Amino acid sequence: MKKTDFIKYIIASLIFGSNGIVSSHIDLPSSHIVLLRSFIGCTFLFIICFAARDKFVSMQYKKQFVFLFISGMALGASWLFLFAAYLKIGVSVASLLYYCGPVIVMAVSPLIFKDKLTKFKVIGIISVFFGLYLINGANFGENGDISGVVLALFSAVMYAVMIISSKMVKDIRGRENAAMQMLGCFSIVAVATFFSHGFRMDIHSEDIIPILVLGVINTGIAIWFYFSSINRLPVYTVAVCGYAEPLSAVIFSVLFLKESMTALQIVGVFLIIGGAMFAELAGKKRAYCAAVPQLLQNKKDASDQEASFD
């Protein structure tokens, strides 16, 4: 693991966590914000690919390209739902609900990938759903907004579809992977925006800088950093550090948007993030620890065999 890859992955996660903060300074409908974000990000990534003279291999793996494009469309749909949820229930709560996407993948993986649903995953999933109740369930009758919660949950489902589709892509990697995914993202967002608000926008001068930041930095650069580092990092590093995104989204929203959270909601935050991490890491850590002695013994046997030839 290179230190630069780790730094790039952390930076990408923190940048993603600031999406809601940046978008709060743009006075446009959520669909227009996502449209501009996906267009600028897609354009930026393709410019980087052409400047680096990357050789595109997508057409050599047409089936994988279809899954990659579907992954991008799911990403675009998740952003549409998420940014709409920001306006209704706030950045912190919407971000936490959005990041239940990986937990949904764990829940359905026995059906799709034939993975075993271990007791660790079950405990983690239960913890996440209990955390969701603490954050939202008790507030529906008072200040809660059920429509915002539904939008955020739809964004989580689309996030899960994006992850599942991405797992079907093995040979299209790096910048090309990110660029093609963003192309699919922009395509679905453009269609949805056309039928909802149209393409006409009244962009004020004070919106230009946040739009460029969201498109170039929070989308183009962040996705570039993410996909160029994730395959070079250990699984545990990716799994643990990936939760810097929802955690930073909560912290940023409290610091910069002055969003408040009750004591029960804070407990819910820990249950969601902690439960998701537990479900993803507990079983793997045990399996890894069990395998270490055998790996050391194999290494010792190989060394002894090599010595016998000398």
pLDDT digits (tens, 9 = 90+) for 161-214: 998 998 888 898 888 989 999 999 999 999 999 998 899 999 999 999 999 999
Interatomic CA distance for residues 178 and 48, integer angstroms? 11
Give kind and range of the element (H or E) at residue 25: none
Place of tokens 């764990």: 106
Residues 6+ apart with CB under 8 A from 12: 222, 223, 225, 226, 229
| pTM of the predicted structure, to 2 decimals | 0.83
Interatomic CA distance for residues 273 and 263, integer angstroms? 16
Interatomic CA distance for residues 297 and 259, integer angstroms? 54
Interatomic CA distance for residues 12 and 18, integer angstroms? 10
Res 144: pLDDT: 54
- Residue 286 is encoded by which pair of tokens? 């045990």
CA distance readout (Å), 188 to 19, 78, 82, 296? 20, 11, 15, 50
* Burial class of residue 14 (count of CB atoms within 10 Å of its CB; 0-12, 13-18, 19+): middle
Does 277 or 19 have the greater pLDDT score?
Answer: 19
Q: How confident is the model at residue 108 (pLDDT cuts 50, 70, 90)?
A: confident
Q: What is the mean pLDDT of the chain?
A: 84
Res 26: pLDDT: 96
Q: Spell out a b/e string for 270-285, using b for 16 or more CB atoms within 10 Å of the CB, else e.
A: ebbbebbbbbbbbbee
